[in-house]
């Protein structure tokens, strides 16, 4: 085996500028920027490094950089390039930096300060320009302002009021030969004062008619700022539609410098509108036979509510007692007058009610059945007789309870409530009339007779008192002739 080494011994190719170069510095400047770009470079293996050596008015060594600030005067520039094998090529040329005509001058450094409280700027001093050279050569000297502050004037800018923001100040100096030089600097005035926004007091309003919102209005907040009217943003504005409840209204104000302030207040929208109810008209119906009432339909109510109904309750009082929700339709109403009361509550607690009557008429009378006629015989010494078990055999009615009354005529003349059982009946024939009346006033009656038949009492004679003796060995005696004697018998 053996090693084979291939060496690059060819220098890179370098072509410099055509000749020496003159660069004009800016007026008043002591150096000028120069860019070093050779006409051409090449290498068979590639250029990897560039070195620039500066000598004369400017001394420096630049590695990789192709630009530098050269001082006034002549600087000798040596350009050196090298490849990876260390082969180099170089060239040399002169750069003359010439001073611009006119009077040199130096502006102040850029200035930044904060505006005093309550002002949108500041009067600034200490901004004089420095002019070099023979003062006798000075002809004209003035300044111009652009940016946040505009304008200009003769002489120095010190004592000028600068607005908040960045202002570019340029000094211009013209010598007696008409040569003009200038310099510029920045004056930045910061606004660190927040704007002020003062909101109105909390507000309470009611909803608009028949809707569940309010169109709220309020006075605009008081807004101030040292630099004019700031930008205003709010989540709600006067005239906006606000829902029922409490809404927080927030105003945020920001000035051109990004300073902000904010305030908030509440707008409470109350729903103070009660539901509007339409109850059915009063109605009268008739109960069916053998039924003490009727099932009533179509007695719901109409509700007009702006925010929504939370509950509908009904109460029945009078002939029928009941409670329920939503709709009383389909309820069985007992005969008589029933008052139907609806109570409606909306989602915000407002209530309203209405009432109407349902009359169910019972036109079917009760049925009463009297006992049979009664005959009782009594002796002529009896003037009246109380008889029991004279109640009606039956009383029927769909509605009940039944009021039972009686009237007696003939031998006995009286009247009263309930049954005649136990009442004294005089001798003779008494007609008893029972009247059964239901709660609706419907009645039925029946009659029977009570006959007290007086019979004459027989006349008898008893034997006279007697005394008898038992015989010997006997503890008794058989007695004859002691029967009564009937002297008369009707």
pLDDT score for 48: 66
Domain presence at residue 259: yes
Question: Do 85 and 148 fall into the same domain?
Answer: no
Please tell me what DSSP assigns to residue 255: -
Beta bridge partners of 352: 344
Range of the domain at 37: 13-98
pLDDT score for 40: 63
Question: Do 117 and 186 fall into the same domain?
Answer: yes
Question: Do 450 and 436 fall into the same domain?
Answer: yes
Question: Do 234 and 257 fall into the same domain?
Answer: yes
pLDDT score for 27: 64
Domain presence at residue 468: no
Question: Do 393 and 442 fall into the same domain?
Answer: yes
Domain presence at residue 241: yes
Query: Which among 190, 216, 244 is the end of a domain?
Result: 190
Give exposure, 346-363, as e/b (b: 16+ Cβ within 10 Å): bebebebbeebebbbebe
Query: Which among 63, 98, 133 is the end of a domain?
Result: 98
pLDDT score for 334: 93
pLDDT along the chain (490 residues), means of 10: 71 73 77 76 71 92 83 90 82 85 88 97 96 84 97 96 98 90 96 97 95 96 94 96 97 96 98 96 91 94 96 97 97 95 97 97 94 93 91 92 96 97 96 95 96 83 82 81 69
Predicted model pTM: 0.59
Cβ atoms 421, 390 nearer than 8 A: yes
Question: Do 436 and 394 fall into the same domain?
Answer: yes
Question: Do 348 and 381 fall into the same domain?
Answer: no
Question: Do 310 and 389 fall into the same domain?
Answer: no
Query: Which among 215, 238, 270 is the end of a domain?
Result: 270
If one counts the domains in the chain, the total is: 5
164: nearest Cα among 98, 258, 96, 233: 258
Question: Do 357 and 421 fall into the same domain?
Answer: no
Runs of H (alpha helix) within 12-52:
none
Domain presence at residue 462: no
Domain presence at residue 138: yes
Domain presence at residue 264: yes
What is the rounded distance in angstroms from the CA atom of residue 291 to the CA atom of residue 364?
A: 9
What is the rounded distance in angstroms from the CA atom of residue 400 to the CA atom of residue 77?
A: 135
List the CATH number of the domain containing 179: 2.60.40.10
Cβ atoms 144, 106 nearer than 8 A: no
Domain presence at residue 4: no
pLDDT score for 12: 78
Q: How far is C-alpha 111 from the chain's CA centre?
A: 53
Domain presence at residue 487: no
Question: Do 281 and 355 fall into the same domain?
Answer: yes
Q: Under DSSP, is residue 64 helix (H, G, I), strand (E, B) or coil?
A: coil
């Amino acid at each position: 085996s053996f090693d084979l080494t291939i060496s690059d011994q060819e220098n890179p190719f370098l072509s410099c500028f055509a000749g020496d170069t003159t660069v004009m510095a800016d007026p008043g400047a002591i150096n000028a920027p120069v860019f070093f770009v050779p006409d051409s470079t090449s290498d068979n293996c590639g250029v990897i490094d560039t070195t620039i050596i500066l000598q004369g008015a400017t001394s420096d060594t630049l590695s990789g950089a192709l630009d530098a600030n050269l001082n006034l005067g002549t600087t000798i520039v040596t350009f050196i390039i090298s490849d990876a094998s260390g082969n180099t090529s170089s060239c040399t040329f002169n750069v003359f930096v010439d001073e611009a005509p006119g009077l040199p001058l130096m502006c102040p450094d850029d200035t930044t300060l904060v505006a005093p409280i309550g002002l949108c700027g500041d009067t600034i001093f200490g901004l004089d320009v420095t002019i070099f050279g023979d003062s006798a050569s000075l002809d004209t000297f003035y300044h111009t302002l652009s940016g946040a502050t505009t304008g200009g004037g003769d002489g120095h800018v010190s004592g000028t009021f600068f607005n908040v923001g960045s202002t570019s100040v340029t000094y211009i100096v013209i010598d007696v030969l008409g040569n003009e030089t200038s310099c510029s600097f920045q004056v930045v005035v910061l606004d660190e004062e927040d704007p002020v926004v003062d909101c109105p007091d909390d507000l309470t309003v009611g909803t608009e008619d028949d809707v569940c919102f309010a169109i709220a209005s309020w006075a605009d907040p008081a807004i101030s700022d040292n630099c004019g009217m700031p930008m205003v943003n709010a989540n709600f504005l006067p005239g906006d539609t606000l829902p029922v409840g409490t809404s927080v209204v927030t105003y945020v104000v920001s000035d051109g410098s990004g300073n902000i302030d904010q305030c908030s207040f509440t707008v409470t929208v109350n729903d103070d509108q009660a539901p509007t109810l339409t109850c059915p008209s009063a109605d009268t119906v008739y109960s069916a036979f053998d039924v003490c009432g009727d099932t009533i339909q179509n007695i719901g109510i109409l509700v007009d509510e702006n925010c929504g109904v939370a509950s509908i309750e009904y109460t029945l009082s009078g002939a029928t007692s009941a409670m329920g929700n939503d709709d009383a339709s389909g309820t069985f109403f007992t005969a008589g007058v029933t008052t139907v009361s609806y109570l409606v509550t909306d989602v915000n607690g407002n209530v309203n009610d209405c009432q109407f009557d349902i009359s169910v008429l019972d036109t079917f009378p009760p049925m009463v059945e009297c006992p049979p006629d009664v005959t009782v015989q009594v002796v002529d010494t009896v003037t009246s007789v109380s008889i029991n078990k004279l109640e009606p055999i039956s009383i029927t009615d769909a509605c009940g309870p039944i009021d039972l009354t009686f009237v007696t005529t003939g031998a006995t003349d009286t009247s009263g409530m309930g049954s005649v059982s136990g009442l004294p009946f005089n001798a003779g024939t008494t007609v008893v009339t029972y009247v059964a009346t239901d709660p609706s006033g419907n009645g039925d009656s029946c009659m029977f007779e009570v006959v007290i038949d007086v019979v004459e009492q027989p006349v008898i004679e008893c034997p006279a008192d007697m005394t008898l003796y038992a015989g010997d060995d006997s503890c008794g005696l058989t007695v004859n002739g002691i029967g009564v004697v009937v002297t008369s018998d009707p």
